Amino acid sequence: MRVSDLLAGERSTPSALPNFDSTTVFVRAAARYLRGEEFPALGMIHPKLAPLGARLNHLPRRARTEFYTRSGANEGVSPDDLGDVDVEEFREWVVDQYPEKGYPAVVVGSSNGAAVYLAAMLGVPWLPQTFLVPIRREMDPDAIREDVQWGEAHAEPFLEANPDVSVHQMHDPNQDRLMVQKLAYFRTKSHTLGDAYEEFIDTVLASDGTIVSLECEYDWPAIELGDRHSFQVGGLGGLSPEEYYEGSDNVAEFLARQDAGIREWDTPEPDGRMPESEWGFEPALREDVKRVADERGYDLRRLSFDDPRDLSPFVADWYRERYAERDRPVERLLVQSFALVEPWWTIRTGSVPYWAAFNTESDADFLEEYLENTEQYDEIRATLFGHGVESAGLASTDRWLEVLSRARDEYGFVGVDADEFPYDVETHVRYHRDLPDEIEARHAHLPPLSFDRFDSITSDIADEYAIEWDEI
């Protein structure tokens, strides 16, 4: 049996919904916290296999990148089966993760790591709009026009089978370079709640409860390929949107390191800007949420922000306030990168959560800006997500340590092999194992924050952050 097969474990998501994606990991993390459970190894690796996952860095780097690519490819669905994929089954899987009990609120909308901690603080479910459907196919990572044509030829059966979603096809030859060789990325955005979400809300939401529409307004240049189908080159992270389409010194240097034989990508001209495929919010969903709220008499709030990382300072400061109210230390910050979120141990160790979307220079800049504008922390630690490629715009471990050194006393990494980053595939297991060892403090988990109190205070302080909190 291959190592990738061992680590993948038994599939716990519906066919065509990957175990390993931001949305599925965030749902698992949020739901496990509401169930009172810790969240080891991204919720994917069987505990008996975790020791094996923690020894992968002994393999040569080439073997590790091959492992990363093959593991991802194992998650893909055959293009011949796209007409059989039902996004409603994804939504059914989501609601099945959460305890079926009464809640004062439900959060619906954009995928976001900080939203996991917002939901944990309020003790409520988070229901995502966006899901990834990875499709198996072989392609040169720089053959962007070829992938456009592939998508045009294969999207129709999926769109016919799922009339209430749009496909935001994504091809990132920089950060996802290992994956796009084996997979096409169809990120789907729901335009309606669907039966599963609507029935779940009816079942668990208090009669005077609130639906929070979580809306990240981050957009990206895109190519219109048809009704409800667009194509996006690149994504949030190390390069600006324009660099993918127009080239730059960073792009040329990256492609030279990859022996790509080109120095810029050949991409069709974008037709305009659309919600970014992974993090952006499709506004059509808000109308259906409003319909349900109006019909059932629920209150409706809109929490919106321009960049997915804009939510992180707001959530971090709320946790700091919550800790202070309970006479706990408020000087320990834990920065968690991409999918490496662990609400149970973060709160158990009395750490203030801050979510970094990825490991890039812009993510380090966002964190640095936050630290410049908040009361100084005594301790700052960070995880770094290992994606197996030295992508353009990646922040070095030295750059991250420079930012973390703003702590008064202790700073450093959790679960990171700094010598092997970004080829540090062990970190997907080690981040959870090392967290309770690295931070010895222990605190009881917080009771849920009253939603009415959250609503009232957020209305007063929203202007201090790059967010908007509106009553609809």
356 shares a domain with 289 = no
Q: Let me know if residue 316 belongs to a domain.
A: no
Q: Report the C-alpha gap between 217 and 286 in whole angstroms.
A: 13
* Dihedral pair phi/psi, residue 311, rounded to 5°: -75, -20
Contact 407, 332 (CB under 8 A): no
Q: What is the pLDDT of residues 95-152, one digit of tens each?
A: 999 999 999 999 999 999 999 999 999 999 999 999 999 999 999 999 999 999 999 9
367 shares a domain with 242 = no
Q: Let me know if residue 312 belongs to a domain.
A: no
175 shares a domain with 65 = yes
Q: What is the mean pLDDT of the chain?
A: 93
Q: What is the CATH number of the domain that holds 393?
A: 3.40.50
CA distances from 401 to 366, 369, 394, 410, 416 (A): 14, 15, 14, 11, 12
Helix, strand, coil tally for the chain in percent (to 5):
40, 20, 40
Strands (DSSP E) contained in 32-113 are: 103-109
348 shares a domain with 294 = no
The pLDDT, as a whole number, for residue 11 is 54
The pLDDT, as a whole number, for residue 394 is 97
Q: Let me know if residue 193 belongs to a domain.
A: yes
- Write out the two tokens for 24: 């599925």
Q: Let me know if residue 452 belongs to a domain.
A: no
- φ/ψ region of 326 (left if φ > 0, alpha if ψ in -120 to 50, else beta) reads alpha
Residue 8 pLDDT class (50, 70, 90 cuts): very low
Q: Report the C-alpha gap between 246 and 239 in whole angstroms.
A: 11
The pLDDT, as a whole number, for residue 2 is 38
The pLDDT, as a whole number, for residue 429 is 86
Residues in a beta bridge with 275: 219
72 shares a domain with 11 = yes
Is the pLDDT reported for residue 199 higher than 60? yes
Is the pLDDT reported for residue 414 higher than 70? yes
Q: Let me know if residue 102 belongs to a domain.
A: yes
Q: Are strands 183-190 and 219-226 parallel, antiparallel or unpaired?
A: unpaired
282 shares a domain with 351 = no
281 shares a domain with 173 = yes
Domain boundary among 305, 321, 346: 305
Q: Let me know if residue 229 belongs to a domain.
A: yes
Q: Are strands 272-275 and 165-171 parallel, antiparallel or unpaired?
A: unpaired
390 shares a domain with 244 = no
371 shares a domain with 411 = yes
Q: What is the pLDDT of residues 355-381, one digit of tens each?
A: 999 999 999 999 999 999 999 999 999
Strands (DSSP E) contained in 44-153 are: 103-109, 126-128, 130-136
Cis peptide before 125 (omega within 30 of 0): no
Q: How far is CA 210 from the centre of its chain?
A: 24
32 shares a domain with 166 = yes
Among candidates 322, 103, 95, which has minimal Cα distance to 196?
A: 95
First to last CA, the chain: 54
Percentage of the chain exceeding pLDDT 70 = 93
The pLDDT, as a whole number, for residue 342 is 97
Residue 181 pLDDT class (50, 70, 90 cuts): very high
264 shares a domain with 356 = no
Is the pLDDT reported for residue 196 higher than 90? yes
The amino acid occupying position 26 is: F
230 shares a domain with 147 = yes
- Write out the two tokens for 423: 């080829």
Give the total number of structural domains in the chain: 2
Q: Are strands 130-136 and 165-171 parallel, antiparallel or unpaired?
A: unpaired
Q: Report the C-alpha gap between 181 and 223 in whole angstroms.
A: 21
The pLDDT, as a whole number, for residue 455 is 98
Q: Report the C-alpha gap between 86 and 94 in whole angstroms.
A: 14
| Measured CA angle at 355 (ends 350, 359), to 5 deg | 125
Residue 61 pLDDT class (50, 70, 90 cuts): low
The pLDDT, as a whole number, for residue 3 is 39
Cβ neighbors of 63 (< 8 A, separation 6 or more) are: none
Domain boundary among 271, 305, 339: 305
Q: Let me know if residue 459 belongs to a domain.
A: no
Residues in a beta bridge with 380: 333, 411
CA distances from 364 to 108, 239, 247, 337, 384 (A): 28, 14, 23, 11, 11
Q: How far is CA 33 from the centre of its chain?
A: 17
The pLDDT, as a whole number, for residue 7 is 44
Q: Report the C-alpha gap between 312 and 127 in whole angstroms.
A: 18
Q: Report the C-alpha gap between 138 and 66 in whole angstroms.
A: 14
Q: Let me know if residue 421 belongs to a domain.
A: yes
The domain containing residue 380 runs over which residues? 330-438
